[in-house]
Structure 1
Amino acid sequence: MKIGASYLGNGTCEFTVWAPAHEKVSLQIVSPNNRIIPMEKGEQGYFKVVAEDVLPGTLYFYKIADSDYPDPASHYQPEGVHGPSQVIDHNSFKWTDVQWSGIPLEDMIIYELHVGTFTKERTFEAIIPRLQDLRDFGVNTIEIMPVAQFPGDHNWGYDGAYPFAVQNSYGGPDSFKNFIDAAHKQGISVILDVVYNHFGPEGNYISQYGPYFTEAYKTPWGSAINFDDVQSYGVRNYFIENALYWLQNYKIDGLRLDAIHAIYDLGAKHILQEMADEVAQLSETIGRKLYLIAESDLNDVRVIREKQFGGFGIDAQWNDDFHHVLHTLLTGEQRGYYQDYSSCEQLAKAYKESFVYSWHYSATRKRYRGNDASQQPAQQFVVCTQNHDQVGNRMLGERLSHLVNFEALKLAAGGLLLSPYVPLLFMGEEYGETSPFLYFVSHSDPDLVEAVRQGRKEEFADFHSEIDSDQEYSDPVSFSTVEKSTLKWELRNEGQHQVLLELYKYLIQLRRSLPALKNLSKETLEASAVDDEKLVLLHRWHQESHIFVAMNFNDKDVTFKANISGGNWNKILDSAEQKWMGPGYTMPNLLMEAQEVTIKPQSFVLYQKL
């Protein structure tokens, strides 16, 4: 069932809203000519009216029991979360990406981007001049953090109250389309981060319309979305329509589904399976593969397994285990959930099997967690060394560039891009950005503002000791926190930052040119570790192409025997070389079987079999 305001042309617009608990709903036209139009209630609680003399740009509310509320499926909120909704004509935009066919999942190099801190202008249009720079160093997919209308002008985006409406301060619907069109012309796919597990706390009038929430489950944000309780059919339709809306009207190439572990559905057909089915059908209709990628804390392969084998049929998922173990090896941190990760053996397992916790006991969670993902294709896992959560949920918003030295930053790049998985980079990572990424909001409710301040401090308790001073804490409501988090784009042309950028660029080139790296497969991969020496060794191959990688997470030289098959191996990258501003290399240019070699601290080396 289509919902919201659908402009039909010639001054005619169809309005549809789900309000099953009400007997009367009216359309309140606010501008340009104030009037009230009764709506007709149809099957399953959907109210409809086809209104004349309604042009694009018309502002409206729905009137329920003498109160005016914005459209829960509003396509635009030009005056913010409390203002009227606006009619949008999606057919009027002139797309120029007519030849666009998308990027296959297995070829993606994903770049996570936040509109409000990527440029000082904080708009979609301001991103466009930087697209060529992203493409030139290897990015072919941008994952954009949520753009659904949130209160105020600055927010991470996870407080959106209108899932169909493009944030007004970023530029609105046409500006978003301009950005996507420009990205496609540069050969870059766009994945949109969407939130289907909760609504933001301010400007959220959704409960005035129907039973969108259930008390059967609880989430970190309060009552859960009603996907399986009484009258859940309208709620399910709402979110499925939202997924299709972005893919159809904005030519989005895929959706990243936020925190699906907080989506509860015990029905016979899980909402994620139904959504995957609908998206697959749309893909067939338009002749272009559209992707769903889940953020999941479950370590459960049912999320990505095909539906004929009892899965939801989601295309891929984030793999936090990979991030956590790599982070602890690089930083030595052992607070919070990092206590569960510490060994090179775990990293070797992450390379080979994807999940570190595959029904193993977690000391932090105090329970067994995960299942076996070893048989799932490698391209179903998105991995990273940094992302908005892992950086922004730290009190000081530290990136890896704040936590480790330059040699370790290069090692992180190698650990990520030489993996058999789909890599995700967090904006600025490629050149060692020095701005933090802090948490920020712009709520207008004073009580809500104070609740956010206190809540964030409590969340930091596991990661920061009592000696951390309040002076270090950045107020999430202050605009200065947004300014602190804004990228220093010019750094990419300076010193070590430029060298790191060139290393990322070269590693991406190797992923695309060497068959052993280009072929994402766990079946053609061997991973081993020497924990005492903090050494991880990889062997990947595809047909006649073989590569060998040694990664030293130790702060001292490590001597070992290369566990490679017969023949000679030629070195093609050594992060310790002076070319990469390293201390100088000790690994030989030509490597032979069982040869004893020494690798420099916090470095990696890549060989290709001749």
Structure 2
Amino acid sequence: MNRSIVVFYLIVLFIGFQACDKKGVTPPGEEIPVPSTLPSGVAEGGVTWDKGSRKATFTLIAPNKKSVNLISSLHDFKPTDANKMHVASDGQTWWLTVENLPTSGHVTYQFLVDGELKVADPYCHLVLDPDHDRYIQGVDFPAYPTGKTNGIVSVLELDAPVYSWKANSFSRPNPYDLVIYELLVRDFVQKHDYKTVQDSIPYFQRLGVNAIQLLPVQEFEGNLSWGYNPSFHLAVDKYYGRANDLKALVDALHEAGIAVILDVVYNHAFGQSPLAQLFFNNAAPTAQNPWLNRAATHPYNVGYDFNHESALTKQFVKDVLKYWVEEFHVDGFRFDLSKGFTQKNSGTSESAVGAWSAYDASRVQIWKEYNDFLKRLDPELYVILEHFGDDQEEQELAEEGMFLWNNLNYVFNEATMGYHNDPKQSSFKRLFKSEHGFAKPNLITYMESHDEERIQYKNQQWGNSAGNYSAKDLPTALQRTEMAAAFLMLSPGPKMIWQFGELGYDIDINHNGRTGEKPILWDYLKDSNRYGLYKQYSKLIHWKRRNTIFRDAAVFEQVEGAVKYFILSEGGQQVMVIGNFGVESNEITITAQMAGTWKDNMTQANKVLATGQKLNLKAGEHYILSSTLLNN
């Protein structure tokens, strides 16, 4: 080729290169990423650690970002060319494989996004908090890398001990036999840890409950919380202990025949969550956030509202659920604020509750998808929703096998306090599936929960009275609670009690602030009246579990006004629960349905009731009658 022609092409190439170079200049941290293939077998979220090959692949889902560095204890938390992450061909998954890692110890790490934003790993199983970890005592975890970085830091444990499960043949209780004990670790034992809760298993066995529902244990902001302010949904909050401590508790409960249900929060995330921080501006998620709404779509939202129509949100929630089922062997989930899983914007004011609660077909579809996913994981998982929605919507969800929280705190407490001026004021009709339009009693019914005032507190504060009889007096109030428990436990379907309700816990829910720490009063067991309530709860729970009539029997009921009763019928067995919630004696005329020779399960004596007979019931008096004595 002619030399002049070669020179000409070199000049053209040089000029073209310079032009392209000037046009494509980008500041540090904004390099244009070149898509690359995510290595085979690597999860799209979190860390895939292969101890045998000493390789770990770190991933972060971060759409529309320009660069991501893995900053860690391996490089003194400084970004380098060596820790610059690749973006996968999907344009949203960033990854980096680190080789020749040691096989013991740990790596602390964060992601540096676009050269400015430091975030922890939303999929990590252990985090370090520079502000709150210092107050955690008696729990072993790595030290925060003080002076190296700031903000929440993730931890990859290179030699985390593998838990060896013992209860490998646990059989879950029939869902209609469930008696769930709702428990907040912080306020149940003084040491607020899983190890001490485990010591209470004999107490649960004597009481007879067959499921423990733990208030949220995923990493939440701060230490002293109910747990409904989550930030890292796959991490165990260290305030209660480490992951293996929780696994040991689950294992021990399974060995005792008790299921474990986790209370989980996927309506929202709080500000420490990387899912919020990755797309956040002006104190709210940005419109580009693929997980969270810029503004909540419904009332009673806290934190930042998840968009459950987003594919990334759905994948995140499914990943999290799968992790807790497979890694911790949990038996089901109670989903907090499940009615919030909607993009139908009803507004956030209290006046919008009616519109929010109305039938929402899109929300039904979201829940069917999550339920189908869980049942593919394990067909026997319990799926429980705190929904409080339209009856039609709850009917559809129940038909899919989901269970709905059924809050009867108000009517039960009106009854125990002795107020019946309006017959519907203390009506128990919503105890029964027919009032909900359900084919089966897929209702988790309760008269107390973490979120309701304590029955015994209101009894003692505002109980009604007549003459010398007062619902405020402790022994009387506890007897009335015992009567209410009989109606609750022996009506068809699963039930729930809040911790220490079986002992008549009477500390105001607003003591020390609504979600603040409450006194732990195990001394109640030394009080004969309170211990008597515990023993009666135990009888009721064992009757419920050992007699199939309490699953889904036919019901005849009259549960409005002061004197209430219902009759269950299944095969040749009948059960009648009757009681006077008034503060004075009351008479009831025996009907044909009530007539017969009954067995009194409290005394084992016969009780004959004839049609037209007047049965006089003293204030607070009740009976549990059956055709044949119930199985103990």
Q: Give the TM-score range, shorter chain.
A: 0.7 to 0.9
Give 2:512's aligned amino acid: S
Q: How many residues align?
A: 516
Structure 1 residue aligned with 2:223, among 153, 157, 175? 153
The answer on 1:75 being equivalent to 2:125 is yes
Shift of 1:70: 1.0
How far apart in 1 are the matches of 2:294 and 2:75?
A: 41
Shift of 1:112: 0.2
1:49-76 CA-to-partner distances (Å, cap 9, x unmatched) read 3333165632111111233211122211
How far apart in 2 are the matches of 1:214 and 1:291?
A: 28
1:416-455 alignment, distance < 5 Å: 416-438=488-510
Distance 1:6 1:400, change over 3 A: farther
Q: Which residue of 2 aligns with 1:325?
A: 411
The answer on 1:45 being equivalent to 2:119 is no
Q: Which residue of 1 aligns with 2:306?
A: 225
Of residues 264-273 and 194-203 in structure 1, the stretch that sits farther from structure 2 once superposed is 264-273
Shift of 1:412: 2.0
Q: Secondary structure at the match of 1:58?
A: strand
Of residues 91-100 and 160-169 in structure 1, the stretch that sits farther from structure 2 once superposed is 91-100
TM-score of the pair, normalised by structure 2: 0.75
Q: Which residue of 2 aligns with 1:474?
A: 512
How far apart in 2 are the matches of 1:138 and 1:401?
A: 27
Distance 1:510 1:124, change over 3 A: same
Give 2:616's aligned amino acid: T
On the 8 A contact 1:90/1:249 being kept in 2, the answer is no
On the 8 A contact 1:32/1:58 being kept in 2, the answer is no
Q: Which residue of 2 aligns with 1:602?
A: 620
Give 2:366's aligned amino acid: I
Distance 1:33 1:8, change over 3 A: farther
1:577-588 alignment, distance < 5 Å: none
On the 8 A contact 1:293/1:314 being kept in 2, the answer is no
The answer on 1:567 being equivalent to 2:585 is no
Aligned-residue identity in percent: 20
Structure 2 residue aligned with 1:214, among 286, 290, 293? 293
Distance 1:133 1:562, change over 3 A: same
On the 8 A contact 2:487/2:577 being kept in 1, the answer is no
Q: Which residue of 1 aligns with 2:368?
A: 273
Distance 1:47 1:350, change over 3 A: same
How far apart in 1 are the matches of 2:523 and 2:272?
A: 36
Shift of 1:268: 9.1
Shift of 1:329: 2.4
1:125-182 CA-to-partner distances (Å, cap 9, x unmatched) read 1100001111121011000000121222210101111111111111121211111111
Shift of 1:530: 5.4
Distance 1:418 1:95, change over 3 A: same
Q: Which residue of 2 aligns with 1:441?
A: none
The answer on 1:107 being equivalent to 2:177 is yes
Q: Which residue of 1 aligns with 2:443?
A: 381
Q: Which residue of 2 aligns with 1:414?
A: 486
CA RMSD of aligned residues (A): 3.1
How far apart in 1 are the matches of 2:613 and 2:91?
A: 73
Q: Which residue of 2 aligns with 1:370?
A: none
Shift of 1:9: 2.7
On the 8 A contact 2:218/2:234 being kept in 1, the answer is yes
How far apart in 1 are the matches of 2:73 and 2:443?
A: 47
Give 1:570's aligned amino acid: K
On the 8 A contact 1:190/1:253 being kept in 2, the answer is yes
Distance 1:283 1:476, change over 3 A: closer
> Where do 5+ consecutive residues of structure 2 fail to align?
1-42, 133-150, 280-288, 345-361, 464-476
Distance 1:91 1:590, change over 3 A: farther
* Higher RCO (CA 8 Å, separation ≥ 6 residues): 1
Distance 1:145 1:609, change over 3 A: same
Q: Which residue of 1 aligns with 2:12?
A: none
Distance 1:152 1:345, change over 3 A: closer
Distance 1:205 1:513, change over 3 A: closer
Shift of 1:300: 3.4
1:529-581 CA-to-partner distances (Å, cap 9, x unmatched) read 453xx12110001101101111221111111122335531121138xx9xxxx
1:256-302 CA-to-partner distances (Å, cap 9, x unmatched) read 00011122146598332221111111115xxxx11210001214343
Distance 1:47 1:354, change over 3 A: farther
Which one has the largest radius of gyration? Answer: 2
Structure 2 residue aligned with 1:141, among 205, 211, 220? 211
Q: Which residue of 1 aligns with 2:586?
A: 558
Of residues 116-125 and 97-106 in structure 1, the stretch that sits farther from structure 2 once superposed is 97-106
How far apart in 1 are the matches of 2:422 and 2:91?
A: 53
Give 1:294's aligned amino acid: L
Q: Secondary structure at the match of 1:164?
A: strand
Give 1:272's aligned amino acid: W
Q: Which residue of 2 aligns with 1:584?
A: none
How far apart in 2 are the matches of 1:69 and 1:492?
A: 48
